[in-house]
Structure 1
Amino acid sequence: MMVVHTEEVSAAGARVRRRARGVPDPRERSWWLQADHPLPLGLRRPEDGPLRLIAATECTVLAGFREPTAIAANLDRLDVHGLADVVTVLRRPDQAEALLYALGLLFATGRAAQISLARRVTVAAARSADEPVLARVVELARHHGDDPGVLLSIFLHEVRIAPGDVLQIGSGMVYGLVSGRALHVTRRRGSTIAVGLSLEPVATGAVLQRLGAKVGPARLVPGVGSGSLLNYPAVDGITLAQVASGHAQVHLGPKAVAVALGCDGWVEEGPRRRSILAGGPAVGLPPGLVRVGSRGRLAIFADAEDLSDRRSPAAAEAASALDDVE
């Protein structure tokens, strides 16, 4: 008993110390990010599972690899010394192999060489700003000059999402929030590996070992339902629902929480109504049949078994259609 108690106290103390230092708790299931300027690119580790971004405002996200031949065409147009071998590798027939070898060539060099290449790429991109992908390089360099992440951005799809949209970030996917404010929901926050647009050096070995070299952008997850309530398929043990511009009755288990996206929300607890502040932390919801609502959007998530009795046949069909989403 004493050993267990000591471990629990130590774990609690560690969480307090992390919060005091501004270090995220890897066990968190939700957190906010706001990009007043492009945020660092990160690799979602496979061991941490997929996550979903729920847009509170219009957002721009870099997520998922473009076709290697399209990347090669952009790099070839730059005509920058040091990219010839990368362009050649990107034209290999095996797309996953092409991406892994190309990124290995870029990040296996020292930090000084990466900075020098990023500078040359930025200068060359400014001469080809009629191409949207290269214009984006110039814009990113205004905030993250000399960072190798500006070159990595050429490899990534740009996805724009509207308030309430749900974007799935798969395990092993590189992504970054360029603009907007979004709620992140997952089984556990874990630890993202920095791969650019930050002051951290890229851990090449860790990145190449965990990278999911799949071509295609991050996917929008459709919600199904009627009235104000939209249900989303469970992903990695977490079920998600949204109440949009109205109210709904939902049956909840003991671990459900709600987050208000754009406007304050509310939950009825017997005779009284409790507020859920917009943009605030997750608020625990009482178990059982609960009435919730918002003039904007309210996200509700829980362990899958807690909300399983709320899923309609249409939601189950949506889940089946999304079995290949990672």
Structure 2
Amino acid sequence: MVAAENDERGTTERVLTLLGLLQQRRVWTGPELADRLRVTPRTVRRDVERLRTLGYPVHAEHGAGGGYRLGAGQELPPLLFDDEEAIATAVSLLVGADRTASGTGDAALRALTKLDRVLPARLRHEVRALAGAVESFGTGRAPVDPEALMTLARACRDEVEARFGYPSASGPHERRVEPYRLVASDRRWYLLAYDLDRDDWRTFRVDRMTDVATRTWRFRPRPAPDAVPYVQEGVASRAYPYRARFLVHATAETVRAQVPAAAALVRPHDSGHCEVLSGADNLDFVLMHVLLLGHSFEVLDPPELATRCRVLAQRLLTAGTTVPDTASRNPGSSPPGAHPA
């Protein structure tokens, strides 16, 4: 039986529920919506009119295969976001949709799909441009100016030069670049670009840029390095005074599951080995972390780290000889957990 129209959920909650249903499926018939909302078809029609008044483009089609359909709006509905808020939300969802390991990826992707359906054409185009220019590794990055991100994303998409102010040791300088990819790490947003003044590939922190703008010059894309590994390696070389490279006796897939993406770069070596590149404030620290992976490994770089391994190994052996050997002092005793034959 259909519930009374003065349902305790209230009109506002019911209208929001109706909006959610329209976002889940392309077409709903009036009777289907009435059944899901537990109201009459007449109330469904009134709630649809409320959504239209708020700016949501709900289309009604009659005949076989017809029903209610939520279209793309001519402008953002006033109950949701302004342009800046919509793009900022899309930026967060784009990065969240890549977090498959955390379990939030599917939910973020569904939310982004819903947002895409109701965005006005001008913003939907911008968000899709950003989607094609973003890659990520790690989670929990710091916020940046969404307008700067969108400007750089458009430049990546349209293959036009970009310029921005960027600090250096001698002070701020304008940089002219050919932008290729935006990469989101666990802490920062980076731009992978070809620096025209230095004639080489560079990575730039987006939060350090000022006056980001595009130029009218188009460029022909060069063969570019793989964005994520390039940024990972570049960040490690700048962030830490020491870098180390190891050959680990385990597959790259196994080690990647053990090491956060922002902590080390893992490269396949052969069917049973991988290379691990990591940085730290001191070599003992990075050595300890590789040791805790639980796999055999070899030091590839730097040479002094191999020497350090031998020093630490001798120190551990010496420490082990100071532990009392209770078994030798008590021949009749058994180690914990042992059972007589």
Relative contact order, CA 8 A, sep 6+: which one is greater? 1
- Normalization by structure 1: what TM-score? 0.26
Asked which structure has the greater CA Rg, the reply is 2
Give the structure with the higher percent helix: 2
